Structure 1
Amino acid sequence: MLSTTERTTQRKSNRALTGREDLYAVLDAGMICHLGVIHDASGDAFPMVVPTGYGRIGDTLYLHGSSAARSLRAGGEGQICVTVTHLDGVVLARSAFHHSLNYRSAMIYGTPRLVTDEAERMEGLRALTENLAPGQWDTVRKPNRKEMAATIVLALSLEEASVKVRTGPPEDDAADHALPVWAGVLPVRQVFDAPVTDPALRHDLPVPDHITHRI
């Protein structure tokens, strides 16, 4: 079960899922998250929300970026919030008030840990790569010492997290059901198109199976 804290308590409890497997499902289905931090530049604090890739190993979320990125440096210095959202449908109601979205979302709070152990740093980067393209890590050159020095890896516990999901048709008031207005759901899904080969590729290579199977 997910922990219940003041920050993870949902306003609409009927949309909250409390199973840890529900959290894993939302995270594992995504490839990009939004990282929210408070950046304090010489005492002038301001919020930042940046999109970034991520990977999960068990109950730990790994984030990475350039060692020069102020969002990652700020993330390693205090509390952060990470969100992942999937849009599943546009909910079109009879009334403007009841228009909505069908979605799955996860929100994680916590103080991340700057990963300094080289083996764990490599495992975190492997998780990030595999989350984007399963099977890719085993086919590519691994990061060298210079690239590792230029990279920050953060580890965020999934201990404090919430999951929220909306599904189904509009929730119009019963009095509006008689209105001559079409209502329903416009489903949304994400698909992969055919891979586009890098024009700088020097070898006549087919697209790997672990890429084509996702189409």
Structure 2
Amino acid sequence: MNCIILDDEPAAIAILERFIQKVPNFQHLRSFYNPTDALAFFNQQPVELVFLDIQMPDVLGTELVKLLPKGTQVIFTTAYSEYAVEGFELRATDYLLKPISFPRFLEACNRAIENRISPHFANEYFFVKNAHDWVKIIWKEIQFIQSDGNLLYFHEKDKKIITRMTLKDIIPQLPVGQFIRVHKSYIVSLSAIRKIERHQLHVQNAIIPITNSYKDSLEKHFGLK
């Protein structure tokens, strides 16, 4: 399960990062101090779980959670117990009071795993408009998705499907943990990657550029750093 941390306290982030490293099958993608940066990250790749502080400058975590993509699980981390009722009304996966012990943290992680549902992956396919027709696309057959302005190109092994959409439109619909953004114009199926080089990667029938701003998440996913 991949996750990010959003908290305005460096010490709190350090503790959560250390705890996540101890949990099997949990992947820490990024930590953020700023809600704006965290929200922008959701446009880069799907995120399954957010460890979210409540009392932050400019915006409360209980307000921010309403802006997250549908299906994102949230574990609130806060020093203020008075937000607990509101947290659960927002269907938070769990509510951790600081200082957080590791056993309690692990309990929350186990709950997230039990709740692990990707609503966009419930169906193995979806339809897009191609000219005057609706064309069926099967997630598992996608090699990579390429953006060109307001057009998206879905590249499969032996065909390409074009539709009028943007990457911002499609990212919230991607099956969690199946795709990753590697460039402002490219999203790649993780299972299709055959080779990763310094500035590009290979899928079965194409070479895809990688930019530095996305390379860190890619390398972390495969345990390359």
Q: Considering Cα pairs closer than 8 Å and 6+ residues apart, tell me whether 1 or 2 has the greater RCO.
A: 1
TM-score in same-fold range (> 0.5): no
- Provide TM-score, normalisation by structure 1: 0.23
Name the structure where helix makes up a greater proportion of residues: 2
- Provide TM-score, normalisation by structure 2: 0.22
